[in-house]
Structures are given as structure tokens and as C-alpha cells.
Structure 1
Amino acid sequence: MSENLIAIIIGIVEGVTEYLPVSSTGHMILVGSMLGFEGEKASVFEVFIQLGAILSVLFLYRDKFSRMMRPQKLSIYGSGLSVKHILAGIVPVMGIGYLLHKPIKTYLFSPYTVIIGLIVGAIFMLVAEKVSKRPSVTNVDNITLKQAFYIGLFQILALWPGFSRSGSTISGGLILGISRAAAAEFSFIIAVPLMAVACLYDLLKVWDKLNLADIQMFAIGFSVAFVVAYISVVWFIKFLNKSTLASFAYYRFVLAIASYYYFFKF
């Protein structure tokens, strides 16, 4: 299989799964293994195309990011979503992620650990749907600093590949009394600085391994991830306005079973 075709396939997988509660990292580990696209080059490529997915959300919510950066929004007492909310949502996972980065990369990036994450994450989503009540917050701008911080704590669960960052944050939001759509939008917004920092951190460590000959493949994957992620986010918000997370949970069970038989039974 040509590298350009691999770039398109993985770019589509990244774009579709990055913001859906199904774990993009888990999918890329599984798909990469199936395609035989593994090793240092694959790791760099997967990090690089995540920047395309990040850019899609930055573009989609550009007005909201612009408003948040106005001087009055930097105040802890300002109304609406602010930089303080973003910091409250990302500091917990950034701290834990930094401390555990090496063991996570060493021991948790495998099909077996992804399968575990898919199953446990699916159960957590179903439990969150079960215990959630009528939401008290239906607009992302009404999320409090306290709720933003607690969502950040739930996001720590996503450090286990397969658990899903959006799955953990949206489920956490439901438990905290936030609507699915509002929790999803907050999840998308805090993902931009969080993923940007994580991606740049990973890229700096492997910068010397980048090759000019790979520019075409990387550009294709980046572009595909950007376009597909944009479409995926728009569709997902509309979906959450009238549906639950249950269908994604059941998909995760099916994917986990299929992956187990593919990697360990065949």
C-alpha cells in the first residue's frame, strides 16, 4: 500500500474520531497496526496530523476564541467562557500527563490496552447517561469555573489510550449537570490548547527524525484530518442535541470485540 493512501486512511480516522467519544488514539493504534504502519515515522505522522484536527476546531470556534482573549474575559469574574475556564479544564490533565508521559507511552500504547480502554470507557459513558438528570447548564458559556475544573479531572481518565478524551469529558459533564452539546463544545475548546501543547511537546522530541521526503505524506494526512474533523464536529453537535452517547458506547464494545479477535485470535 502506498504511503499517500496510508496518509489518507489515517487522516480520515483521525478526523472522524478525534472529537467523537470513541478514542482517536485508540483507533490510530489499531489501524496503524492493521496497516503495518508503525515505528518512529508513524508516531511522528500521527502527532503531526492531530494538528490538522486542532486547526479545524480553532477555525470553527474562531469567534469564541477571539472573544475569550479580550481583556475583560481574562478576569475570573467575567461572564461567559474565559481563559480561566480553559486553564481550569486543562491544568489537571497536563500535570498528570507530564508526570506520567513516559510510562503511558511505554506501557499503554498497544492494541491490548486500547481494547481495555474502549470497554471501560464505554461502561463509564453508559453509567453517566444513567445517572444524569435534567441539565442545569445548556450553554457552554454558562459553565462555571468549578465545573470546568471537575471536567478537567474527568479528562485525566483519557490518558489511558482507548478511553477517549471527549468521552470522559462529556460523560463527566453529564454527571455535573451539563447538557451533552454544551459539554461537547467545552471538550472541543479545551482540546485546542491541550492538544497543541501535547503535539508540540512530542514533535520537539522527534524533530530530528523528520525527513523532507515525507512532506507530501504529512501534508496529505494533515489536510484530510482538518477537513474530516471539521465535518465530524459539526455533525456531532447536531447529533447530541437529539441523541445520547449510548450508540457510541455500543460501537466501542463492538470495536473492542472485533479488535480482540483480529489481534489475538486469528
Structure 2
Amino acid sequence: MDHYLTVILLGIVEGLTEFLPVSSTGHLILASELLGYDAATWAMFNVIIQLGAILAVVVLYWRTFWAVGMGLLRREPVSWRFLRNLLLAFIPSAIIGLALHDYIEILLGAPTVVAWALIAGGIAILLIERAVKEQRFHGIADIPVVRVLGIGLIQCISMIPGVSRSGATIMGALTLGVERRTAAEFSFFLAIPTMLGATTLELLKKGDRITSAAIGWDSITLGFLVSFLVALLVIKWFVGLVSKHGFAPFAWYRIIAGAAALVWLTMR
């Protein structure tokens, strides 16, 4: 496949899937199997273009971040609770991610794990959507500390490729009483420290491999921009969709995609 076509496709996959409960990492792993490119060669590229998707959150929600920043300067309790909840939810993944980093990297080379995780995650979403009734918390700053830590711990399940960081965060928030739109937005905001931390760890460990003879800064820049632009569109669409229809469409997609991947991996 043409080099720049691969760059664009990977940027699209990252931008499409980073904030949907379908697993961006899982899709990138399956893409490497389907498209036949060398996953190891493109590993750092995939890590860096995640920052393009993260930038989309900052751009779309700049008013929220500005209001929180001004509130922190004015010592407004609601702004401090917002920041506290974001940092507390990030702590479990930071600790567990550092402790299990080497084991997680082994799983990244297992597309069959991704396929099964897609199916299991889809079933879990359907069950949670049906079971959850009470939605007590309608703002990120309103979520109690214990429940925030619970959401952070549940997010750690997404270290299994195919589970989905956003999916685990959103479903965890729903089970702990957070309403749908707030759960989705909390997953967007929590992605910022989580993905920045994961990217920083990868750069510290493998920074000398950021570019290679096959992948230069022009490719990284193009992938970053594609990921950013696609994520801008996806985030706005996603919030509107889940507010009206919930998460069931993504659950069925996961089950179908996971089953198709299993069949393909078995028959190839």
C-alpha cells in the first residue's frame, strides 16, 4: 500500500475511534493485520498521532477549560472539584500503567485478544445500558471522590487492547450514577492526562525511534492533522448521538466487528 495512503488511513482510524467506545488501539492493531504494514515500524507514529485527537478536545471545549482556569484563579469550589476529579480519576491508570507496561506491550501484538475484547465489551455495554436506571450526577464537579476513583479504576481495564479507554470510562461512570452526556464528556477530558501520560512514557522509553527511514516528520505531521480533524467531527456527533440514543449502536458494532475479525483471523 502507498505510504501516504497508510498515513491517512491510520489518522482517520485514530480520529474516528479514540473517543468512541470501540477501542482505537484495537482498531489500529487490526488495521496492521488487514493492511499488512509492519506494526512495529509504525508504533511510535500511532502513539504521536493520538495527540492530534487530544488536541481536538482542547479546541472544542476551550470555553470549559478557560472557565475552569479562571475559576481556579478565583478559588471557586466548583473549579477545584472539577480539577480534583480529573486528577483523581487519572491516578489509577498512571500507577497501574507504569507497573504493567511491559505486559501491556505483549498484549498489543495479539489481534485475537482484540477481537474477543470487542465482543465482550459490546455485550457489557448492552447489559449496562439495560441495567442502569439512576443518574444522579449531572456535572463532572458534582461526582463524589469515591465514585471518581471507581471510574479511574474501571478505566484501567482498557489496558487490555480492544476494551476501549473511552468505553470503560463511560460505562464505569454510568454504573456509578453519572448521566450519559456528562459520562461522555468526562471520558473526553480524562483522555487528556491519560493519553499525555501514555505518550510521554513511550517517548521516554523509545524516543530514539520516533522517526525511521520509512516514517519521517512529514508523515507524522500529516497523520496528526488527519487525526485532529476527524476527531473534531466525531466528538460533536458522538455527544449528540448518545444524548438521544445511548450507546447500544456502538455495542452492536463492536460485536459484529469482533466476530468478523475472529472469522478473518481464523481463516487467513
Partner of 1:233: 235
SS of the equivalent of 1:79 reads helix
Does the 8 Å contact 1:12/1:228 carry over to 2?
yes
What is the correspondence of 1:163-202 to structure 2 with a 5 Å cutoff? 163-202=163-202
C-alpha separation between the residues in 2 aligned to 1:162 and 1:13?
Answer: 14
**Which residue in the other structure is 2:250 paired with?**
248
Relative to structure 1, is the Cα distance of residues 98 and 36 closer, same or farther in structure 2, using a 3 angstrom cutoff? same
Q: Using structure 2 for the length normalisation, give the TM-score.
A: 0.93
Deviation at 1:88, TM superposition (A): 1.1
> What is the TM-score normalised by the length of structure 1?
0.93
Quote the offset at 1:65 in angstroms: 2.2
Checking the alignment, whether the CA contact within 8 Å between 1:12 and 1:224 is kept in structure 2 is: yes
Instruction: Give 1:168 shift.
Output: 0.9
Q: Secondary structure at the match of 2:19?
A: coil
Please say which of residues 137-146 and 33-42 is displaced more in the overlay: 137-146
Letter of the 1:262 partner, please give it: W
Kindly report which structure 2 residues correspond to 1:59-74, keeping only aligned pairs within 5 A, or say none.
59-70=59-70, 72=72
Query: Structure 1: where are the runs of 5+ without partners?
Result: none
Kept after mapping to 1: 8 A contact 2:14/2:49: yes
The equivalent of 1:116 in structure 2 is 116
**Bigger mean CA offset, 9-18 vs 80-89:** 80-89
Greater Cα shift, 155-164 or 212-221: 212-221
Change (3 A) 1:74 1:2: farther
Equivalent residue number for residue 161 of structure 2: 161
Moved more, 145-154 or 112-121: 145-154
- 1:33 is displaced (CA, Å) by 1.6
Asked if the contact 1:166/1:187 (under 8 Å) is kept, the reply is: yes
Offset at residue 260 of structure 1 (A): 1.0
Aligned residues: 265
Q: What does 1:24-173 align with in structure 2 at a 5 Å threshold?
A: 24-70=24-70, 72=72, 78-80=77-79, 81-173=81-173
State the SS of the aligned residue for 1:256.
helix
Give the distance between the partners of 1:166 and 1:70, measured in 2 at CA: 27
Q: Measure how far apart 1:210 and its partner are.
A: 2.9
* Structure 2: unaligned runs, 5 residues or longer: none
State the shift of 1:71 in Å: 6.5
Separation in 1, partners of 2:30, 2:73: 41
My pick for the range that moved more, 142-151 or 229-238, is 142-151
> 1:228-254: per-residue Cα shift (whole Å, max 9, x none)?
011101100011110111111111111
Following superposition, the deviation at residue 41 of structure 1 comes to 2.3
Separation (CA, whole Å) in 1 of partners of 2:177 and 2:95: 26
Shift of 1:116: 1.7
Q: Alignment partner of 1:134: what SS?
A: coil
Coordinate RMSD, CA, aligned: 1.9
What is the percentage of aligned positions where both structures have the same residue?
A: 38
Question: How far 1:143 sits from its partner (Å)?
Answer: 2.5
CA spacing shift, 1:262–1:73, aligned 2, 3 Å:
farther
- Equivalent residue of 1:206, what SS? helix
Secondary structure of the structure 2 residue equivalent to 1:197: helix
Deviations 1:209-230 (A, max 9, x none): 2337611111111100000011
1:146 Cα deviation (Å)? 2.6
How big is the shift at 1:125?
A: 1.1
Q: Which moved more, 1:228-237 or 1:205-214?
A: 205-214
Aligned twin of 1:208:
208
